[in-house]
């Protein structure tokens, strides 16, 4: 068994949306031996600091949820940062985890690793079969390298390192910055600001026609934990809900959750990004897993989180 109640667990990136959801989940399950460090205490881009941390703490299990992340605009604008920071963090953490002989490591990748022209729904077998979407290529290539590294350490050293590939996530502790945010956080912020200022129209980006598979972050970490505990395969596992909606449909749900009653317009000078990226979740489903949170319920929780952060 990889995890027991005494396991020392390092959640890298525990203040981010995914890492904080993982900490919530582990604590709810009674895991109390968590090794957590803020960015100020441990800069994961510094190899020496990371090695010293692993030598001192000797964690049993590691979740790699630390990353430089953002929505389509941030990915496309801060291309060097998305490349360097992610490559540095994951390289340092994965290598130091192997040196410290951890029992298990789970790396959070992203569905943007699939080729731009990938057949839909995207199966794990489609990985490495074509170039990624250009707006997030540096991020995608870094995440591909992280997955390849997990597989290489497994192949050469027998390390129990696995990657999950989550779809587009949203939920508590999302980043609501207007330029950096992912779709759901951007929708919540824009609709909320329009509602409180009495604005009649909200401007969204692109054409509104691309499709996205949105998943509530607590469901994603639930699936990831199941993979760590029960999955014995070598290849990464897609983590999604199994269905997608157009941006327009997603915007309708967010608008209802926020209570904005005006109109939506689309700024076609802003990019659409990938037109579709629906994950094939057969492998995850075969482990007996199913998403629990509807988009409507998740959007309401996310909006409550946004409001709490305004105070």
Where does this chain bind ligand GFB (CB under 6 A)? 69, 71-73, 75, 110-112, 136, 139, 168, 181-183, 186, 190, 204-206, 210, 212, 247, 270-274
Cis peptide before 79 (omega within 30 of 0): no
The single residue of 114, 139, 176, 231 carrying the catalytic annotation is 139
Minimum CB–partner distance for residue 132 and ligand GFB (Å): 10
Tokens representing residue 230 in the block:
């029960």
Contacts by residues 122-129 (CB-CB < 8 Å, ≥ 24 positions apart): 122/238, 122/277, 122/278, 122/279, 122/280, 123/238, 123/280, 123/282, 124/165, 124/235, 124/236, 124/237, 124/238, 124/280, 124/283, 127/236
Minimum CB–partner distance for residue 212 and ligand GFB (Å): 5
Tokens representing residue 290 in the block:
């199913």
Tokens representing residue 37 in the block:
């460090």
The CA distance from 267 to 144, in Å, is 31
Q: Pick the closer one to ligand GFB by CB: 18 or 35.
A: 18
Which residue in 108, 119, 149 sits closest to 237, CA to CA? 108
Q: Pick the closer one to ligand GFB by CB: 73 or 306.
A: 73
Three-state DSSP at 212 gives strand
Minimum CB–partner distance for residue 298 and ligand GFB (Å): 14
Q: Pick the closer one to ligand GFB by CB: 96 or 122.
A: 122
Instruction: Please give the distance of CA 7 from its chain centroid, rounded to a whole number.
Output: 24
Three-state DSSP at 294 gives coil
Minimum CB–partner distance for residue 86 and ligand GFB (Å): 10
Q: Pick the closer one to ligand GFB by CB: 33 or 180.
A: 180
What is the number of other CB atoms lying within 10 angstroms of the CB of residue 267?
10
Produce one character per residue of 61-89: b if its CB has 16 or more CB atoms within 10 Å, e if not.
bbbbbbbbbbbbbbbbebbeebbebbbbb
Minimum CB–partner distance for residue 179 and ligand GFB (Å): 9
Residue listed under structure tokens 């949820």: 65
Active site residue 170: no
Q: Pick the closer one to ligand GFB by CB: 59 or 71.
A: 71
Q: Pick the closer one to ligand GFB by CB: 241 or 274.
A: 274
Minimum CB–partner distance for residue 266 and ligand GFB (Å): 7
Cα-based torsion angle of the residue sequence 174, 178, 179, 180 in order, rounded to the nearest 10 degrees? -10
| Active-site residue list | 139
């Amino acid at each position: 068994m990889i995890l027991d109640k005494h396991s020392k667990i390092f959640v890298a990136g525990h203040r981010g949306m995914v890492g904080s959801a993982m900490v919530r989940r582990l604590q709810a399950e009674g895991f109390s031996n968590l090794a957590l460090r803020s960015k100020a205490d441990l800069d994961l881009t510094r190899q020496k600091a990371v090695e010293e941390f692993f030598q001192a703490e000797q964690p049993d299990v590691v979740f790699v949820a630390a990353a430089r992340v953002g929505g389509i605009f941030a990915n496309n604008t801060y291309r060097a940062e998305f490349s360097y920071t992610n490559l540095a963090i994951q390289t340092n953490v994965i290598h130091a985890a192997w040196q410290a002989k951890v029992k298990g490591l789970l790396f959070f990748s992203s569905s943007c690793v699939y080729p731009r022209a990938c057949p839909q729904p995207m199966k794990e077998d489609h990985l490495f079969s074509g170039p990624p979407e250009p707006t997030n290529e540096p991020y995608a290539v870094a995440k591909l390298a992280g997955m390849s590294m997990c597989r290489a350490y497994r192949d050469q050293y027998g390390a129990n390192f696995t990657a999950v590939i989550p779809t587009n996530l949203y939920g508590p502790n999302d980043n609501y910055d207007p330029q950096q945010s992912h779709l759901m956080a951007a929708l919540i912020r824009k609709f909320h600001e329009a509602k409180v200022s009495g604005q009649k129209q909200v401007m969204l980006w692109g054409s509104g026609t691309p499709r996205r598979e949105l998943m509530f972050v607590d469901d994603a970490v639930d699936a990831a934990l199941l993979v760590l505990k029960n999955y014995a395969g070598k290849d990464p596992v897609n983590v999604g809900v199994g269905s997608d909606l157009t941006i327009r449909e997603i915007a309708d749900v967010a608008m209802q959750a926020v209570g904005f009653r005006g109109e939506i317009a689309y700024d076609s000078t802003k990019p659409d990004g990938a037109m579709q990226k629906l994950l094939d979740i057969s492998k995850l489903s075969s482990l007996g897993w199913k998403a629990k949170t509807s988009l409507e319920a998740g959007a309401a929780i996310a909006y409550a989180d946004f409001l709490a952060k305004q105070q």
